[in-house]
Amino acid sequence: MEEIESQRRRGKFRGAENLLRIEQRRAELEGNDPYFHFFGGILLYYFNFLKDAYLNLNNALLTDDYDAFYVKKYKGIICMDMGRYDRALELFREALEMAEKAGDKAWMASMLNAIGNVYTRMGKYDKALESYTSALKAAIESENMEWIATSLCNVGVAHNNLGDYKGSIKFFEDSYEASKQLDDMYGRRVCLNNLGSVYNNMGDHEEALRLFEEARKYAEDIDDKYGLRVVYNNLGFTYRMLGDLKRAIECYELALTIARQIGDDQGASIAKYWILAIYDELHKKAPAR
């Protein structure tokens, strides 16, 4: 699982999926139903079949600490994505207890970041920052560069959400450098996207545009369709702030197309909303005939 997650964090989505398929097939040939459901559940989650993924993970009755940790982790992620935040926190805390018992700092960083993600979605940014800061401490103690890069980025997100825009930049830049050391194009894309949002928040839309365009290139290089959807929505917003409504619509339409391709309903809704809003604005500005 560590190699599968590592590949996915680095944007090597097909590699992660292929490893999962191999492991699931091996479990099937061995008649090992718990592991067949375990790997199948994670694979279904990657393809956004959340309910089926959760059911499979429920059938993965694994007792080994290592694998039971991942069952709780992914069930928590699915609950978070479904908006069941209280249940997600419960599962993540159970997994965190397992990580603490095992003395595994990397696992602890993983779960503390996950807990911070739930608080972020709940709008509890102070609690998110507290959790992300603890995650960064655990990641540094583990000497795991991937979790250090992720935790730095998340601390930056929390500062940005709290309105500390300048304070967030250093964390994003440090995360970018860590991702660069790891040759992690996905991590660099995430950092650049977040930095672009910070500069938009500070009113420097030209710099935001430059950062989003750089992030777009990374997303294209690794075929990160979700990342492309995010970047195109952000590019649409930035062009709108710059008054270039034609380019804004083009970006939002690209975001909408990609969101539909990958089944990203939330991303599609954002793009559709702004496409309609801009068309309405253009209609109001059109001279009367």
Q: Domain extents for the chain?
A: 184-284
What are the pLDDT digits (tens) for 44-57? 888 878 899 998 89
CATH H-level superfamily of 184-284: Tetratricopeptide repeat domain (1.25.40.10)
Q: What is the pLDDT of residue 28?
A: 86
**Residue ranges of the chain with per-residue pLDDT less than 50:** none
Q: What is the pLDDT of residue 289?
A: 54
Q: What is the pLDDT of residue 107?
A: 93
Q: What is the pLDDT of residue 10?
A: 62
Look up the pTM and report it. Answer: 0.86
What whole-number distance in Å separates Cα of residue 95 and Cα of residue 137?
18
Q: What is the pLDDT of residue 209?
A: 97
Q: What is the pLDDT of residue 63?
A: 55
What whole-number distance in Å separates Cα of residue 255 and Cα of residue 206?
20
Q: What is the pLDDT of residue 82?
A: 92
What spatial distance separates the first Cα and last Cα of the chain, rounded to whole Å? Answer: 64
What whole-number distance in Å separates Cα of residue 62 and Cα of residue 52?
18
Q: What is the pLDDT of residue 235?
A: 97
